[in-house]
Amino acid sequence: MNKYTERLYNGLIKENPTLVLMLGMCPTLAVSTQAMNGIGMGLSTTAVLILSNVVISALRKVIPDEVRLPSYIVIVASLVTVTELLIEAYLPSLYKALGIYIPLIVVNCIILGRAEAYANKNTIGLSAMDGLGMGLGFTIALTLAGLVREVLGSGTAFGLQVLPESVEPIGIFVQPPGAFLVIALFIIIMNAIGIKTRQRQLVESNGCEGGCAGCMAAATCPSKGKNAEKGAAK
What is the binding site for other proteins (CB under 8 A)? 22, 25-27, 29-30, 70, 73-74, 77-78, 80-81, 84-85, 100, 103-104, 106-109, 112, 172, 175-181, 183-185, 187-189, 191-192, 197, 199-200, 202-207, 209-213, 215-217, 219-220
| Smallest separation, CB 192 to other proteins (Å) | 4
Beta-bridge partners for 134: none
What value, to the nearest 5°, has the Cα angle with vertex 70 and ends 64 and 76?
A: 110
Based on DSSP, count helices (H) and strands (E) in the chain, helices before strands.
11, 2
Closest to 45 in 3D by CA, of 170, 152, 138: 138
CA distance 55 to 11: 19
**10 versus 197: smaller Cβ distance to other proteins:** 197
Query: From the CB of residue 2, how many other CB atoms can be counted at a distance below 10 Å?
Result: 6
Residue 215: partners with Cβ closer than 8 Å, 6 or more residues away: 109, 112, 113, 116
Give the 3-state secondary structure of residue 112.
helix
| Smallest separation, CB 184 to other proteins (Å) | 4
Query: From the CB of residue 176, how many other CB atoms can be counted at a distance below 10 Å?
Result: 11
| Smallest separation, CB 215 to other proteins (Å) | 6
| Smallest separation, CB 206 to other proteins (Å) | 7
Backbone angles phi, psi at 55, to 5 degrees: -65, -45
Residue 69 near residue 214, CB atoms below 8 Å: no
**137 versus 178: smaller Cβ distance to other proteins:** 178
**104 versus 124: smaller Cβ distance to other proteins:** 104
| Smallest separation, CB 129 to other proteins (Å) | 26
HSE-up of residue 3 (Cα within 13 Å, Cβ side): 7
**58 versus 67: smaller Cβ distance to other proteins:** 67
| Smallest separation, CB 202 to other proteins (Å) | 6
DSSP codes, 139-190 = HHHHHHHHHHHHHHHHSEETTEE-S-TTSPP-GGGGSHHHHHHHHHHHHHHH
| Smallest separation, CB 132 to other proteins (Å) | 24
**107 versus 134: smaller Cβ distance to other proteins:** 107
**106 versus 124: smaller Cβ distance to other proteins:** 106
**54 versus 106: smaller Cβ distance to other proteins:** 106
